Amino acid sequence: MEYQALLFCFIAAVFITPMVKKLAVFIGATDKPDHRKVHKILMPRLGGLAIFISFILGYFLFMPATPIFWPVLIGASLIIVTGVWDDMRELSPKWKLAGQIVAAGIVVYAGEGIVVSFINVPFTESTLEFGVFSEIITMVWIIAITNAINLIDGLDGLAAGVSAIALLTISGMAITMGNVFVVFAGLMMLGSTVGFLIYNFYPAKIFMGDTGALFLGFMISVLSLLGFKNVTLFSFVIPVIILGVPISDTVFAIIRRRLQKKPMSAPDKSHLHHNLLNLGYSHPETVLVIYTISALFSLAAVIFSQATLYGAFIVLAVLVLLLELLVEFTGLIGKEYRPILNLFKGHKSKR
């Protein structure tokens, strides 16, 4: 039944996306090129509405009744309203954040089984209780991932493809754990996203806009909590690894802006995809490179989930080293930040 839901949502997105494209042009929900953007022509956005409609159709047709059914639906709908309004009128950051806070609050306070209340401390039998901060920490996760997906939406097919890889991983791992809600919701999101990606991959015919980026980020954040919130520290780390690309890009953007003494909300052209383009990669090559990196993170998450304690630390150590090399090679923090590469260069010159 879950695979029928995936196929249904995929076909629905394929048929609905062209209609949403016409709607976007009709109501003026278009993206104008400027100095920060890669595209050179006026593009219809609002494509995320096609992902949402396709998902909702499948949601009502296939999703089994669970306590989290309505809170997720209401929270996602509020995110869509926020995204649509922003794609049409360009909301200020504070109003977009307000919409995300309310949506996250609905899921956290009205839903069941999503709040992260504690984690186990490695090498001990004790736990770290979050207490009164449990709901706040859970909401921060939802809002952070929602915005992380939004930040990487800078090239044709990038956010949709990275999200699809994350959704495939989350759904696959949920199947092994028997989490029915996450399996159905994850696969339906996957089908809707891939159906939309047909029109969004380079050269894109429509952008997902904030409508799609916020919706994908919101749903991925919620599903990752529902799928991996199994109280242990390492299971809580799994969604962080799966979402390694958007999370690391966001973290390094914050570091970069602090070092450059710029406001946190200040836009720039130094994200991972910008730097890969500057290194000479073409538009589709850049997207495919980031897809590959995302897939490697997802593979690492699967290995991590099955590893022993020491094996898990080895996986983390390798990931941290590779991430550091990626940062230095692409200049994510700055072109002068190359400690490891300079070390190898210095060692090679001495020889």
Could you tell me which of 40, 42, 22 has the C-alpha nearest to residue 31?
Answer: 42
In terms of DSSP bridges, do strands 118-120 and 127-129 run parallel, antiparallel, or are they unpaired? antiparallel
Determine the Cα–Cα distance for residues 45 and 144; give it in Å rounded to an integer: 23
pLDDT tens profile 77-126: 999 999 999 998 888 889 999 999 999 999 999 887 788 887 766 556 67
Residues marked as binding? 150, 210
3-state secondary structure the chain: CHHHHHHHHHHHHHHHHHHHHHHHHHHCCEECCCCCCCCCCCEECCCHHHHHHHHHHHHHHHCCCCCCHHHHHHHHHHHHHHHHHHHHHCCCHHHHHHHHHHHHHHHHHHCCCCCCCEEECCCCCCEEECHHHHHHHHHHHHHHHHHHHHHCCCCCCHHHHHHHHHHHHHHHHHHHHCCHHHHHHHHHHHHHHHHHHHHHCCCCCCCCHHHHHHHHHHHHHHHHHHHHCCCCHHHHHHHHHHCHHHHHHHHHHHHHHHHCCCCCCCCCCCCHHHHHHHCCCCHHHHHHHHHHHHHHHHHHHHHHHHCCHHHHHHHHHHHHHHHHHHHHHHCCCCCCCCHHHHHHHHHHHHC
pLDDT tens profile 284-297: 999 999 999 999 99
pLDDT (mean) for 20-37: 80
| AA identity, residue 271 | H
Neighbours of 294 (CB within 10 A): 24
**Lowest-confidence range among 65-74, 213-222, 267-276?**
267-276
pLDDT tens profile 132-179: 888 999 999 999 999 999 989 889 999 999 999 999 999 999 998 888
Separation of first and last alpha carbons in the chain: 62
| AA identity, residue 20 | V
Confidence of residue 39 (pLDDT cuts 50, 70, 90): low
Name the pTM for this structure.
0.91
Q: Rounded mean pLDDT of the chain?
A: 87
Residues marked as binding for Mg(2+)? 150, 210
